[in-house]
Amino acid sequence: MRVLAIDLGGTHATCAVVEDRAILAKTLVPIADHFLLAPILADLAAALRTFDRSLLAGVEGIGFGFCGLVDNVNSRVSSTNGKFIDAVEIDLNEWSRREFVLPLRLENDARLALLGECLAGAGEGETDVVMFTLGTGIGGVAMIDGRPLQGKHGQAGVLGGHTPVTLKGRRCTCGAMGCAESEASGWALPLVCAEWPGFATSSLAARPLDFENLFACAGAGDKTALEIREHCLQVWGSAAVSAIHAFDPELLLYGGGVMKSADVIIPFLQQHVDRNAWTPWGKVRVRAAHLGNDAALFGVISLFQQENSFVR
């Protein structure tokens, strides 16, 4: 099966031609710093048309990964979190049929990433999995008995980043207080650093505030960076234990840009889970995802192969 894939993130979209377990071609589409989806659709259509005609031959549909809550039955966005606020008014299936005469299937991007990892990555052969994506935000998704959780309103299992981890944390973009995302995500890291005692005199203060620099400074022994890194690890660990107790997985997968430091993160999380999760049947394994930014693209294939495959 050959399909077109769109993975829409916060700063760019990836457009690709995918066939079974292979990405035949892909291109990145930068996204301007605005909050509307409609102006981007023309760019996405143009990007898909740049692929060689031989690759477009035989394409059966378009799979669209969106960074928000979706109604995948009707291919409509249900809710966004500040960006692409007009998406709930857009009929993406109508857009796809008008532009390409192809059906479109829509899914949450984190759910697609898990489907991709279970098709061709670190979750291959697994049936009970929770996956977190650590990056600008924190994505989460759960699979039980080989079927991704969906829920009546499309949000079951995909709000792992909005698990409360503290009673006195900062306000999250979702409106709640003390979410994992508002305490240890890419967008929250500068806020965490600004409030941290001793930050102004740390080596981290002279660098752009992202996780790559945080882990680099911590690895070099900077005291403040070590403390902030430990704070983030503890937050991710708390969210992991909450997910284990909620969804009963046998495997936790971690993807996203932060996993450039997987050599530190994965051992910490494995030890944290071993100490704190109540799993009398055995130990939950913690593993880094394998497919990187391509995971959701591979997951698109599953949208066309698995009819009615979601746990509702």
Alpha-carbon distance of 163 to 188, in angstroms, equals 15
Instruction: Please report, rounded to a whole number, the percentage of residues in the chain having pLDDT higher than 90.
Output: 77
pLDDT in tens, 114-146: 999 999 999 999 999 999 999 888 989 999 999
| 310 has a pLDDT exceeding 70 | no
| 163 has a pLDDT exceeding 80 | yes
Please name each of the domains of the chain with its CATH number: 2-113+294-305 (3.30.420.40), 125-289 (3.30.420.40)
Strand 147-148 to 138-144 pairing: antiparallel
At residue 159 the predicted structure's pLDDT band, cuts being 50, 70 and 90, is confident
Residue with tokens 């960006």: 83
pLDDT in tens, 193-222: 999 999 999 999 999 999 999 999 999 999
Of 270 and 32, more confident = 270
Alpha-carbon distance of 43 to 27, in angstroms, equals 12
- The mean pLDDT of the chain is 92
pLDDT of residue 31: 84
pLDDT of residue 81: 76
Alpha-carbon distance of 295 to 141, in angstroms, equals 13
pLDDT of residue 153: 84
pLDDT of residue 82: 74
H or E stretch including 79?
strand 76-79
pLDDT of residue 155: 85
pLDDT in tens, 55-64: 999 999 999 9
pLDDT of residue 158: 85
pLDDT of residue 279: 98
**Distance of CA 31 to CAs 25, 189, 211, 293, 296, Å?**
20, 22, 22, 16, 18
pLDDT of residue 308: 42
Least confident of 47-51, 147-151, 305-309: 305-309
pLDDT of residue 35: 77
Average pLDDT estimate for 30-45: 86
pLDDT in tens, 61-97: 999 999 888 998 889 999 887 788 899 999 999 999 9
| 10 has a pLDDT exceeding 50 | yes
| 307 has a pLDDT exceeding 60 | no
Average pLDDT estimate for 37-62: 94
Could you tell me if 301 and 1 are in contact, meaning their C-beta atoms sit under 8 angstroms apart? Answer: yes
DSSP for residue 170: P
pLDDT of residue 248: 97
Name the residue among 120, 160, 139, 138 with its Cα closest to residue 247.
160
| Contacting residues for 132 by C-beta, under 8 A, at least 6 apart | 138, 139, 140, 160, 161, 236, 239, 240, 243, 252, 253, 254, 255, 256
pLDDT in tens, 168-184: 889 998 899 999 999 99
Alpha-carbon distance of 297 to 52, in angstroms, equals 18
At residue 305 the predicted structure's pLDDT band, cuts being 50, 70 and 90, is confident
pLDDT in tens, 256-290: 889 999 999 999 999 999 999 999 999 999 999 99
| 306 has a pLDDT exceeding 70 | no
